[in-house]
Structure 1
Amino acid sequence: MAIVTLTSDFGHTDHYVAALKASLISKDNALKLIDISHDIEPFDIAHMAFVVSAVFRDFPKGTIHMLSTN
């Protein structure tokens, strides 16, 4: 089972995170999806890098880290 982490500036006030997860699971329903954060300020790549760099080493080798900005 593949682990995929999700980090984005999508926020939690609409359907974008759910749509992303639905799309990924529809391709492979065995995926284990883990949210790191969806509260990154829009286009703040430095903040996104800081957040992910603080945690990515805690995940097993082979984990896929998906980062997305609007």
Structure 2
Amino acid sequence: MAKIKPKALLAQSKLKKGPTQVGVSKIITYVVLGVLVVSSVYYAYQYWQNKGPAVAAEGVVGN
């Protein structure tokens, strides 16, 4: 293994690293996951909205 000279190591450590590039596949993955989360929350909300009054009406006995 080659040894790095102290000056070269110091110069290398001072280099600023730029932001990493985000790949298209990563963007698509996050968008799909976001859509799944939002849709599951939406459909759960719709389910509980539709279920609420029906369950309350079943518990009430008519005159």
TM-score band, normalised by the shorter chain?
under 0.3
Structure with more of its chain in strand, by fraction: 1
The TM-score normalised by the length of structure 2 is 0.24
The TM-score normalised by the length of structure 1 is 0.22
Tell me which structure has the larger Cα radius of gyration: 2
1 or 2 for the larger relative contact order (CA 8 Å, sep ≥6)?
1
